[in-house]
Amino acid sequence: MSLGLVHRKELQKRRAKRIWGLTQFVLAVGFCSGVGYYAYEIGLSVSQEEVLIWKTRHDTQVAENDELKIELGKDKATVDQLSQLLPNEEIRSLLGVVTRRANEGVDISRMETILGGISKDADCSGETDTKRFIVLTPVSTEEASTASFYRGLITLSGRGSPTLNDDGNPEAWFDTTKEITVSFMMPGGDQQEVTGTLPLYHSVITGGSEYRFSITAGRTSFVDASVQKCGL
């Protein structure tokens, strides 16, 4: 074989090798580009799906919040309506008095008649009648002490706790800082009681009139009871 032929074959081998290398490079670049584009498309699709999912969740949350606001508004309106229907503290106190008096045996229809006949503006006399009586204690020496008003129409008496001296022993007079109980007695045996610390206030309705009493501390052992007569 001549040297020229050997040289040509060697050149052909080198050219074929370069072409194959170039082909491999092109194929590799194409493959990587294809893989990259495919990955990009998948990533874009996933991102779009996630955005859609989050948007759907957000829209759902906004709708639920709007519904909740509407429900809360309805509930608040309902609470406001119920609050208007429920009695206030003063009315609850009155209902408590009515319930207590009914439990004591006072006829409900009688209380209804009395309440129904009360006018908006009370017509009270300017004069007040004041009397005093002793508040009895378990160690009092007096057996009884009362004060009667309007010729025996209403008679008051009271009881309380004795004052303690420095040695802790009880005295004969009552302790003005502790609760006392005042009884209001009417003809026929009807009786009302009020308990509390002085001063005390109580109204008695009888004979078509209201008698407003105020009980205050007097001199030792005594309380002063004042009354004013008012029309219903």
Q: 20-24, 96-100, 216-220: which range is least confident on average?
A: 20-24
Q: Is the pLDDT of residue 131 over 90?
A: yes
Q: What is the pLDDT of residue 29?
A: 62
Query: For residue 33, what pLDDT band results from cuts at 50, 70 and 90?
Result: low
Q: What confidence tier does 152 reach under pLDDT thresholds 50, 70, 90?
A: very high
pLDDT at 94: 79
How high is the pLDDT of residue 51?
Answer: 75
pLDDT score at 11:
67
Instruction: Please tell me the distance from the alpha carbon of residue 226 to that of residue 129, in angstroms, as a whole number.
Output: 5
What's the whole-number mean pLDDT along residues 103-125?
70
Mean pLDDT of 150-174: 94
DSSP β-bridge partners for residue 137:
none
In the chain, the percentage of residues whose pLDDT exceeds 90 is: 36
Selection from 81-85, 109-113, 175-179 with the highest mean pLDDT? 175-179
pLDDT tens digits along 50-72: 777 877 888 888 888 877 778 77
What percentage of the chain carries pLDDT values higher than 70? 72
Q: Which two tokens stand for residue 215?
A: 């009980």
Q: Is this prediction's pTM over 0.95?
A: no
Q: How confident is the model at residue 124 (pLDDT cuts 50, 70, 90)?
A: confident
What is the pLDDT confidence band of residue 26, given thresholds at 50, 70 and 90?
low
Spatial contact of 208 and 230, defined as CB atoms under 8 Å apart? no
What does the pLDDT average to over 45-54? 75
- Per-residue pLDDT, 138: 94
Residue pair 221/159 in contact (Cβ under 8 Å)? The answer is no
pLDDT in tens, 167-216: 999 998 999 999 999 999 998 888 999 999 999 999 998 888 899 999 99
User: DSSP string spanning 108-162?
Assistant: HHHHHHHHHT--SS-EE-S--EEEEEEEE-TT-S-S---EEETTTTEEEEEE-PE
